[in-house]
A = this chain, B = another copy of it.
Amino acid sequence: MGRTVRGPPFGSYCRCLIVDVKKFAIPEIIFGRGSLDYAGLCARRLGAATAFLVSDSGLEKVGWVSRVKEILERENLRWVHYSNVVSNPRDHQIEEGADLYLKEGADVVIALGGGSPMDAAKGIAVVASNGGRIHDYEGANRIHRPLPPMVFIPSTAGSGSDISQFAIINDTHRCVKMSIISRTLVPNISIIDPLILETKGEELIVASAVDALCHAVESFVSPIASPFTESQSLRAIQLIVQHLHRAREERSLDDLEQLSIASTAAAMAFSNASLGAEHALAHSLGGMFDVLHGLVHPVLLPAVMRFNLSASTEKMAVIGEIFLGKKRRSPRATAAAGIDRLEAYCQSLGVPTRLRDILPRRDKLPELCQMAVKDVCLLTNPRPASWEDLLSICEGAW
The complex is assembled from copies of this chain, and their number is: 2
Q: Which residue of B lies closest to A257 (CB)?
A: B227
Please indicate the chain B residues that have their CB under 8 angstroms from the CB of A345 in the complex.
none
Which 5 pairs show the lowest CB-CB distances between chains A and B? A21-B32, A16-B33, A25-B28, A24-B29, A17-B34
Q: Which residues of B contact A13 (CB under 8 A)?
A: 34, 36, 67, 195
- A12 x B195 contact (CB < 8 A): yes
Q: Which residue of B lies closest to A31 (CB)?
A: B22
**Chain A interface SS verdict (over half):** helix
A18 to B26, CA, bound (A): 26
Residues of B with C-beta under 8 A to A31: 21-24, 226-228
* A-B contacts, 23 listed (Cβ < 8 Å): A1-B79, A3-B69, A5-B63, A5-B66, A6-B63, A7-B199, A9-B199, A10-B63, A12-B198, A13-B34, A13-B67, A13-B195, A17-B34, A18-B34, A21-B30, A23-B29, A23-B31, A24-B28, A24-B30, A25-B28, A31-B226, A31-B228, A32-B226
Shortest C-beta distance, A162 to chain B (Å), equals 13
Q: How far is the CA of A17 from the CA of B35 in the complex (A)?
A: 8
Question: A196 on the interface (CB 8 Å rule)?
Answer: yes
Give residues in A with beta carbon < 8 Å to B: 1-10, 12-13, 16-26, 28-38, 62-64, 66-67, 69-70, 73, 79, 183, 195-196, 198-199, 226-228, 231, 235, 253, 261, 264-265
